[in-house]
């Protein structure tokens, strides 16, 4: 069942330009040049209940604008969206009971209050029954190891501590959909791992549907099977993370560590099958094209050429693949 349906969603922003200096400022009181820019240019996709989808794109691609429309903060210029039977921007009061939002750049917690007070306010706002609230909060606080900071003012928390509390806050009322806009920005790798395993367990236990925007591909690799890539307001890929690598990158790397050379001629012809990336006395890594290389045959050849200590065949990292896609501006495609 689709819990999110987005159809030809568009958003135009209107801004006004003015020149530099006092004269231009006075002039702008009477006349300003109107500039209309289209941040989201007809995006369509659907998401099934329980999916975790990575939403990626370069700076200014339109990710936050899309999430703001889906969470009901912004009206679209045109197009439709339906999230769990709601039109987000029309039914905001009831709708917010069903969704949670984490905007990495903007805190939802009260700055001068400790997180525990913000959580209490959230409890009354959403009418969460006391026993359910206590149980849920206790479980999340333990899972994210934030027991010790519950009574410290939010403004004194580190970024990682605050983000853990933001995520707890967004999940207290047990929403069925969670929108996460750069939830791991500026967070160290250990705290990031905590967040990854926490979000994965919430998704597994509660079937919470999640859309995550991020520039950190380790978030996607840890959490999402599916990725949507948006470029300059338009969707350019929607499909599995696995296939994005297969589709856009046509090579793999073979890494070989060896003790002795058994057959120098065979080694030379094996190396000629690809592009040498690195070579030392007892190691080489070779870039090979997936479409024109018979990998099992090449591996057999290498095993006869050298006394292998370790051999691995590696796909490029998602981070590299995404950079290539941005660079080449590949046009709309999907699985
Ligand atoms: N309130 C606004 N008024 C005018 N233009 C805006 C406004 N908000 C965003 N934009 C513009 O819309 C475009 C898309 O912005 P958006 O914030 O959605 O990008 P993003 O994909 O989230 O980027 P980032 O990765 O940097 O967060 C950008 O060109 C941005 O300058
Ligand atoms: Mg953004």
Q: Which residues contact 289 (CB under 8 A, 6 or more apart)?
A: 250, 251, 274
**Separation between Cα atoms, residue 137 and residue 164, nearest integer Å:** 12
Q: Is the CB of 10 under 6 A from ligand 1?
A: no
Instruction: Please give the structure tokens belonging to residue 335.
Output: 């699985």
Pocket test for ligand 1, best of 10, 38, 39 (most atoms within 8 A of CB): 39
CB 251 within 8 A of CB 285: no
Atom number, ligand 1, closest to the C-alpha of residue 40? 14
Residue nearest to atom 8 of ligand 1 (CA): 65
64 lines ligand 1 (CB under 6 A): yes
Does any ligand 1 atom lie closer than 6 A to the CB of residue 61?
yes
Measured from the Cα of 15, ligand 1's closest atom is 4
> For 284, which DSSP code?
E
For a mutational test of ligand 1's pocket, the pick from 10, 11, 54, 62, i.e. the residue with the most ligand atoms closer than 8 A to its C-beta, is 62
Closest CA to 63 of 73, 71, 55: 55
- Test site for ligand 1: of 56, 61, 71, most ligand atoms within 8 A of the Cβ: 61
CA dist., res. 86 & res. 92, Å (int): 9
- Residue 118 CB less than 6 A away from ligand 1: no
Name the token pair of 54.
């990575």
Which residue bears the tokens 């990336």? 277
Domains of the chain with CATH codes: 2-9+41-246 (3.40.50.300), 250-314 (3.30.70.1150)
335 residues of the chain, pLDDT tens digit each: 899 999 999 999 998 877 777 777 777 777 777 889 999 999 999 999 999 999 999 999 999 999 999 999 999 999 999 999 999 999 888 999 999 999 988 889 999 999 999 999 999 999 999 999 999 999 999 999 999 999 999 999 999 999 999 999 999 999 999 999 999 998 999 999 999 999 999 999 999 999 999 999 999 999 999 999 999 999 999 999 988 888 887 889 999 999 999 999 999 999 999 999 999 999 999 999 988 889 999 999 999 999 999 999 998 888 888 888 888 765 444 44
Handedness of CA 173, 49, 57, 241 (dihedral sign): positive
Distance from CA of residue 111 to its chain's centroid? 26
**Confidence (pTM):** 0.87
Question: Which residue puts its alpha carbon closest to atom 30 of ligand 1?
Answer: 60
Atom of ligand 1 nearest to the CA of 105: 27
Which ligand lies nearest to the CA atom of residue 17 in the structure?
1
> Counting Cβ atoms within 10 Å, is residue 271 exposed (0-12), middle (13-18) or buried (19+)?
middle
Q: Which helix (H) or strand (E) holds 2?
A: strand 2-17
Condensed to tens digits (0 to 9), the pLDDT of residues 276-312 reads 999 999 999 999 998 888 999 999 999 999 999 999 9
Q: Whose CA is nearest to atom 24 of ligand 1?
A: 59
Six-digit token pair at 277? 């990336």
């Amino acid at each position: 069942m689709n819990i999110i349906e987005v159809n030809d969603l568009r958003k135009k922003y209107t801004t006004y330009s003015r020149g530099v200096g006092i004269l231009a400022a006075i002039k702008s009181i009477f006349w300003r040049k109107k500039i209309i820019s289209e941040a989201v240019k007809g995006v369509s996709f659907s998401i099934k209940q329980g999916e975790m989808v990575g939403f990626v794109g370069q700076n200014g691609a339109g990710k936050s604008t899309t999430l703001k429309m889906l969470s009901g903060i912004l009206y679209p210029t045109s197009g439709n969206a339906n999230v769990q039977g709601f039109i987000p921007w029309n039914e905001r009061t009831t709708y917010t009971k069903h969704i949670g939002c984490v905007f990495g750049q903007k805190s939802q917690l009260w700055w001068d209050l400790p997180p525990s007070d913000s959580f209490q306010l959230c409890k009354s706002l959403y009418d969460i029954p006391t026993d359910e609230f206590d149980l849920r909060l206790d479980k999340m606080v333990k899972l994210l190891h934030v027991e010790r900071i519950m009574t410290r003012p939010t403004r004194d928390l580190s970024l990682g501590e605050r983000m853990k509390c933001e995520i707890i806050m967004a999940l207290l009322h047990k929403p069925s959909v969670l929108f996460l806009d750069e939830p791991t920005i500026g967070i160290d790798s250990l705290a990031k791992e905590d967040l990854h395993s926490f979000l994965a367990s919430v998704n597994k236990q509660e079937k919470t549907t999640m859309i995550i925007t991020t520039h950190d591909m380790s978030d996607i690799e840890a959490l999402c099977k599916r990725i949507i890539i948006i470029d300059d307001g338009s969707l350019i890929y929607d499909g599995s993370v696995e296939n994005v690598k297969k589709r856009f990158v046509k090579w793999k790397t073979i890494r070989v560590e060896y003790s002795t050379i058994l057959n120098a001629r065979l080694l030379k012809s094996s190396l000629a099958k690809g592009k040498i990336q690195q070579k030392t006395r007892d190691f080489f890594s070779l870039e090979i094209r997936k479409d024109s290389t018979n990998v099992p045959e090449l591996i057999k050849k290498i095993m006869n050429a050298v006394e292998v200590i370790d051999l691995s065949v590696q796909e490029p990292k998602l981070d590299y693949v995404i950079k290539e896609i941005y660079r080449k501006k590949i046009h709309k495609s999907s699985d």
